[in-house]
Chains A and B, each alone.
Chain A
């Protein structure tokens, strides 16, 4: 009878995950398949228009991909995305590591940790479009009015700079905004990682006379490896999709130096010529790049997760057996 009961419960597992699966099929899988197919077609101008698979000598079915890789703007936009991401990520992870090392070191009694965390994290939840507009007005350069930044450097006798029109400043400013929005988030993730490291390791190290710096490099960093990788990959995946800030900040100007891959996809598909086919091919390229990096993370994390799940299952099983025994004993 017990067995029969368990079998009848299994159907609820399927039933309760059905909404997720249906929404996934409709809102993700079907659209992705469409995008994939459009990448091999001549669909443009009108999303409801007729379309055909491309055939011919010029690349055949892969013509859109061939066009894409010879497209100057696509290459520039991808390269910009990578550049801006790197310039944002390196200082971000370094600062986050430094701050998290300070904030978790109990021999330094930092006051106001809670306040600092709240303030550092704050830019992360503010609408990126607003932040980009705000920064644009901060860097204003015109004869009639100099923005706050130019006024500020003027205090030190520096000449005003045309920030938004002088490469490489626009790229650096976009990278800075990304950095500024995300270091607080990264810091909090790293702090929770460091707090998860067994305190005994640190106790043993300080009894052996290791300094704070030594402990940081010999204990903290090696034990943070998974979390650091997680941060790296999630930041990279988010960085490749960078859209709101470059679009709202300078819309790709000047000379396409702030034009990113996401903006390329958006503008090809939904503005001007509406080349859905080329944009589809570009988004599939982005998909492959992200899938590649996600796979790395997935395989590294999987072992840990699986081990944890096994551990939990074992514990639950033991508990269950113990309970059964008790129950059996009671009824007997």
Chain B
């Protein structure tokens, strides 16, 4: 941020009056911050209030005392956040590992080695970055059906091996930060190529991997389209799919329970976000690659 220091009269004299524009800026920023936070505050507060109270007055900034009752209600039907959580964790963790490992490996192949097709290959990766899921879905559904993996979490995990966006990011990060000398000296010490990648390149790429891991995890966790296409068995529902089970008359009257259900689906994301927000913001500005 200090990179952009301006030589303005204020910054030279070091003194400045509060400009009227500052008032406008703070009003806009605080308004937007409230706009971001308020729906979630409302959701968490209403999750603890009795349905009748929520019905009478849904705007609350203080918690109520009906958390246990809401919990009993929301768990009494199809909606099962623990199954959703477990399935989502399985899919997201394995997807994240595959995406990070193989994207780094692919970028390494392009950056470190000289091979005939590498420039064409990199251009090709950039080109397939924007292929929409919708075009893949019907053919992939058929493939999954043919090999008998429908209603399995595996087809949600395997495609993570090819993540063009992540390869692009890893490539951008690797070019300036991985020096060929290190690899050369490892070779002189007798390291095999695969060993050098795992033991020398991967640790150097750690910061980039950490950032991409967060994005891969969140993207996989939030994905609704492919799981909806591939999974029919309720026991295999992921977290975003669980939300769609909250329909019907029961949920139309149990306001508190519905808010609690929604809260449970996003609680893990809130924990992850506020613990890692620094890295997430840095990752967005560094990569500039997430649509």
Chain B residues 13 to 50 lying within 8 A of chain A, measured CB to CB, are: 16, 19, 21-22, 25-26, 28-29, 32-33, 35-37, 39-40, 42-43
Q: A48-B146, A152-B59 are in contact. Are A38 and B225 (CB under 8 A)?
A: no
Interface string of A221-237 (1 = CB under 8 A from B): 00000010010001101
* Minimum C-beta distance from A296 to chain B (A): 11
Tell me which of B167, B181, B228, B291 contacts A20 (CB under 8 A): B167
Q: Is B76 on the interface with A (CB-CB < 8 A)?
A: no
Cα distance A6–B248 in the bound complex, in angstroms: 66
Q: Is B222 on the interface with A (CB-CB < 8 A)?
A: yes
Which chain B positions have C-beta within 8 A of A146?
A: 58
Cα distance A189–B139 in the bound complex, in angstroms: 34
Task: Give the size category of B's interface with A.
Answer: 35 or more
Q: Is A55 on the interface with B (CB-CB < 8 A)?
A: no
Q: Is B255 on the interface with A (CB-CB < 8 A)?
A: yes
Chain A residues 212 to 271 lying within 8 A of chain B, measured CB to CB, are: 227, 230, 234-235, 237-238, 240-241, 243-244, 247-248, 262, 265-266, 269-270
Tell me which of A19, A126, A145, A247 contacts B269 (CB under 8 A): A126
**A138→B105 contact, CB < 8 A:** no
**A265→B36 contact, CB < 8 A:** no
**A105→B6 contact, CB < 8 A:** yes
Judged by DSSP, the binding face of B is helix
**B6→A138 contact, CB < 8 A:** no
Task: Give the size category of A's interface with B.
Answer: 35 or more
**B225→A10 contact, CB < 8 A:** no
**Interface residues in chain B, defined as those with a beta carbon under 8 Å from any beta carbon in chain A:** 1-8, 10-11, 16, 19, 21-22, 25-26, 28-29, 32-33, 35-37, 39-40, 42-43, 54-59, 102-103, 105-106, 108-110, 112-118, 121, 125-143, 145-146, 158-159, 161-162, 167, 175-176, 180-181, 193, 197, 218, 221-222, 224-225, 228-229, 239-241, 243-244, 246, 255, 258-259, 262, 265-266, 269-270, 272-274, 277, 280-281, 284-286, 288, 290-291
**A20→B161 contact, CB < 8 A:** yes
Q: Is A69 on the interface with B (CB-CB < 8 A)?
A: no
Which chain A positions have C-beta within 8 A of B246?
A: 133
Which chain B positions have C-beta within 8 A of A238?
A: 291
Q: Is A45 on the interface with B (CB-CB < 8 A)?
A: no
Interface string of A180-198 (1 = CB under 8 A from B): 1000110011011111010
